[in-house]
Amino acid sequence: MTEKRMEAVALSYHPEDASPKVIAKGKGKIAENILQVAEKHHIPVYEDPNLLELLGQLDLNESIPPDLYEAVAEVFAFIYRLDRRIQSKR
């Protein structure tokens, strides 16, 4: 049995955009680099293999399609909750 390669997708959302966009994606060493950048900048990492597979099919700078809005909203809600916890501890 072979070990599955690491994979990562980074999202960004700005209020002026219609929806979040894929700003980075990759497998193997590229995925490791994405995760290192996230860690360096204290960006939370959310793990969902099914969502990762779907987001990995999108192109860079491509907006999230409407059928993924709910799943991606859960990711941003997770990040928001983490940020609030961190802020309340300061």
Determine the structural domain holding residue 52 and report its residue range: 7-88
Q: For residue 57, what is the domain's CATH number?
A: 3.40.1690.10
Encoded tokens for 1? 């049995």
Best CA proximity match to 22, nearest among 74, 72, 84? 72
Segment 20-72, tens digit of pLDDT: 999 999 999 999 999 999 999 988 899 999 999 999 999 999 999 999 999 99
Residues forming beta bridges with residue 25, ordered by sequence position:
9
75, 11 contact by CB (below 8 A): yes
51, 16 contact by CB (below 8 A): no
Q: Kindly state whether residue 56 falls inside one of the protein's structural domains.
A: yes
Give the number of domains in the chain.
Answer: 1
pLDDT of 4 over the 80 cut? no
Q: Kindly state whether residue 68 falls inside one of the protein's structural domains.
A: yes
How many other CB atoms sit within 10 Å of the CB of residue 25?
Answer: 21
